[in-house]
Chain A
Amino acid sequence: MNEKIPLKKIHELMVKSRVLEERLIKIYKSGEGFFWIGGPGQEAFDVCLGLQLKKGRGNQFDWFHGHYRSTPVLVAMGMEMIEGVRMMKNLATDRSSHGRNFCNHYGFPEWNVAPISSPIEVQYSIAIGTAWAQRAEKTQGITVVTGGDAGTAEGDFASCLVWSSRPGSELPLLILVEDNRWGISTAAETQHGDKHIADRGKAFGMKTMIVDGNNAEESWNAIAEAVDYVRTKRKPLLLQANVSRLYGHSSASGASFVTNETDPIKILEDQLMKEKILTEKQIKAIWEKFQESSMNALNLARTEPQPTAESVWDYVYAGNENADWRKF
């Protein structure tokens, strides 16, 4: 084991994220929420990413443009379970959207976490803007954008490659693709003739990498190398992480655990036990701790208010300027 990689911490955050997602699924299945979509299966790669971002507000810090499977990144950055539960229950206390958006569509300005929206891949064409601002202001911050493999068919992904690699105007942009080989029910091999998505970066003279995103150590090292490259060279890098999708696409496809894909937490736990870093009993205690936390979060959320009817007009415009034509 590499001593510099905080595997125990990574494991704990992976479990925390998984338990949160499983709690959100239960909330959906019990009728307390409307829709679930999330990131079980991406914990190894995403937690390692979240721990290596330079977190803060402003262009000197890193910008993160995630998607609806990025929950483990946010958990690793310090998001508490209650935030996920509030959003799942579309409560007024949901600080990302005040009950307006789907679960796991977070946005945290204090951490430069750009708001996640449902349209596939638009984050890739928006991320070039934050990276441009960081380049123009000569900060040390970088922009990190991530999405799935199916969405790389969208034009926004091509936009991202083109705009980030303009000669003389290269952007400090880490372009990630978390490849789970699925687009809802459509298998990647039926739609994509390219062998590796990462290869597309080569046409733009871009450094590219491919990593087993289910292996925490390999993910940690790949992200460290990629982040360092983008931060110091101020150039884009395309990194493809091969990951799992452990509960299907969303609640629309049942949100049940699939047994034929690799579970990154299981892999890491086997390693931690083999290397005598954690015992089975200790691992069980970690799971139980977060199970209890997730129930506490749900019980707290159950006491919190719904948005009010009159709040629908709030913040159509910045500063809550009136946007209702009836009042013009």
Chain B
Amino acid sequence: MANMAQAIRMALHYGESHLGLKDIFGEDVGPPLGGVFTATQGLTTTWNSPLDERGIIGMGIGIAMTGRRCVAEIQFCDYIFNTIDLLKIAGNTCWATYGQFPIPLVVMTPVGSGIRGSIYHSHSFDSWATRLPGWKMVMPSNPLDAYGLMLAALKDQNPVLYMKPKALLRVKGEELIPGEPSDEKELRSMIDAPLGDRSQWKPQWPDLKEYVVPIGKGKRLREGQNGTVVTWGRMVPLTLQAAQSLETQGISFDVIDLRSLYPYDWSMIKESVMKTKRVLFINEDTEVTNFGEHLLRRSIEELFYHLEARPRVLAGKHLPGIGLNPVLEDNSVPQLHDIIHELKELASEVP
């Protein structure tokens, strides 16, 4: 099975060959490296940019303004912060011109902790991103969704922020991408660049098929009775693991991978919470003005009389950064034991 980096690469190849994708650019995105996580290796429209995040976003807005399809990468979301006003412009231009200037721009950036990335390679951006009206924002948790969400982003007429949970980029999927060879060694030999001299190397792309995960649609990954957990990105596999371990103790949960943060799948959340009557929102961004708080607010306002326990948010601590030492990182963002603890608390609360 492909890992997420390979899935993104294949999606971008599909974009180049079927969806009119003309430019994929950013720092070290082009040859020889093909991206610091290899997500842009072997593609034909990649090019390296100056080390200038504002230039990258500005370039992307300008290209998109002409109707030309592009994907701009910010190498780590930790370095996107000096582009905030340009992101705002990308998000408000269609609205400010009453629909006359859509900005069909895809910006992709690795997010989150989990690779011992210290203060400036561990940030999350999901809650910041959701304060950028006019954007759509997605975060896959597995390779198949990574492929399908990228195709959806490349077809969208709006700016789409595609957040790559960096700790999951090397994790293999459990489902084949349509057209992907079933032998992962074969896939590697086809699309992974060799070590050393790559100047003569060309990938052999599999005959990939269209597979779109609609933006705004979540996915229910587990069914249960004792509560609903809504999460996204890196927290999805941890939450599944937690829910699985608790099932042996007779406690079961609906686990929803939101996949799109905005627009988001409220009908899926609502239906589940009305069934389980308990809900927990989990993500790794910092906890104050966290996007989970918006979902919690909506749960209270719309589902209050259906609830049998306090709705909760489990998120990263409100700290200025993620410390390098594993003790520090593991005590800054939710870990498996934190999730298990919260799930037990949620399920056991007596109204």
Binding site for B on A (CB under 8 A): 59, 63, 95-98, 100-101, 107, 109, 114-115, 117, 119, 122, 124-134, 136-137, 155-156, 159, 162-163, 166, 314-323, 325, 328
B38 contacts the other chain (Cβ, under 8 Å)? no
The yes or no answer to B66 lying at the interface (CB within 8 A) is yes
7 pairs of residues in contact across A and B, judged by CB atoms under 8 Å: A119-B85, A128-B62, A133-B63, A162-B55, A317-B94, A321-B158, A325-B264
Give the CA-CA distance A314 to B89 in the complex, in Å.
Answer: 17
CB distance from A144 to the nearest CB of B (A): 13
- Contacts of B119-149 to chain A: CB distance below 8 A: 133-134, 136
Contact (Cβ within 8 A) A129 B133 = no
**CB-defined contacts of A133 to chain B, threshold 8 Å:** 62-63, 66, 68
By a CB distance below 8 angstroms, the chain B residues around A132 are: 23, 59, 62-63
Say yes or no: A117 contacts B99, CB within 8 Å.
no
- Which of A101, A119, A137, A319 is close to B89, meaning CB atoms less than 8 Å apart? A119
Using known A-B contacts A107-B100, A117-B89, A156-B58, determine if residue A315 contacts B95 with beta carbons closer than 8 Å: yes
What separation, in Å, do the CA atoms of A98 and B50 have in the docked complex? 37
Residues in chain B near residue A316, CB distance under 8 A: 94-95, 133-134
Question: What is the chain A residue whose CB lies nearest that of B47?
Answer: A169
Chain A CB within 8 A of B267 CB? yes
Given contacts A119-B89, A315-B95, contact A325 B62 (CB under 8 A): no
Question: Of all chain A residues, which has the CB nearest B263?
Answer: A328
Q: State how many angstroms separate the Cβ of A293 from the closest Cβ of chain B.
A: 25
Q: Which residues of A contact B265 (CB under 8 A)?
A: 328
- Please tell me if the beta carbons of A315 and B55 are within 8 angstroms of each other in the complex: no
Given contacts A159-B52, A316-B133, A323-B133, contact A115 B62 (CB under 8 A): no
Do B263 and A325 touch (CB < 8 A)? yes
B57 within 8 A of A: yes
Q: Write out the residue numbers on chain A whose beta carbons fall within 8 Å of the beta carbon of B95.
A: 100, 314-316
Most B CB atoms within 10 A — which of A59, A320, A328?
Answer: A328
Q: How many residues of B contact A (CB 8 A)?
A: 48
| Residue from the list B57, B94, B267 in contact with A125, Cβ < 8 A | B57
Q: Which residues of B contact A114 (CB under 8 A)?
A: 62, 65, 101
Q: B26 — which chain A residues lie within 8 A by C-beta? A: none
Residues B100 and A163 in contact, CB atoms below 8 Å apart? no
Q: Is there contact, CB below 8 Å, between B22 and A129?
A: no
User: Taking A122-B86, A163-B50, A317-B134 as contacts, is the C-beta distance between A130 and B63 under 8 angstroms?
Assistant: yes
Chain A residues closer than 8 Å to B23, beta-carbon distance = 132, 136
Q: Is B66 a contact of A59 with CB atoms below 8 Å?
A: yes
Least distance between B61 CB and chain A CB atoms (Å): 5
A300 to B44, CA, bound (A): 54
Known: A162-B50, A328-B266. A129 touches B134 (CB 8 A): no
**A159, B55: Cβ atoms closer than 8 Å:** yes
Give the chain B neighbours of A320 by CB distance below 8 A: 99
Are the CB atoms of B65 and A100 closer together than 8 Å? no
B102: CB under 8 A from chain A?
yes
Q: A128 contacts B58, CB within 8 Å?
A: yes
Q: What's the nearest-Cβ distance from chain A to residue B293, in Å? A: 13
By the criterion CB–CB under 8 Å, are A115 and B101 in contact?
Answer: yes
The listed residue (B82, B96, B104, B266) touching A318 by CB distance below 8 A is B104
B-side contacts of A95, CB under 8 Å: 98
Q: Is B97 an interface residue (CB 8 A)?
A: yes
B54 at the interface (CB under 8 A from A): yes
Complex Cα distance, B266 from A315, in Å, reads: 21
CB within 8 Å of A: which of B272-317? 294, 298
B44 to chain A, nearest CB (A): 13
Instruction: Say yes or no: A115 contacts B93, CB within 8 Å.
Output: yes
Distance, CA A242 to CA B298, complexed state (A): 55
- B55 near A128: Cβ-Cβ < 8 Å: yes
Q: Is B42 an interface residue (CB 8 A)?
A: no
Among A126, A314, A325, the residue within 8 A (CB) of B266 is A325
Let me know if A126 and B65 touch, CB within 8 A: yes
Q: Does B216 contact A (CB under 8 A)?
A: yes
Contacts of A315 in B (CB 8 A): 94-95, 97-99
Does B225 sit at the interface, judged by CB under 8 A?
no
A107 in contact with B97 given A159-B52, A323-B133 (CB within 8 Å):
yes
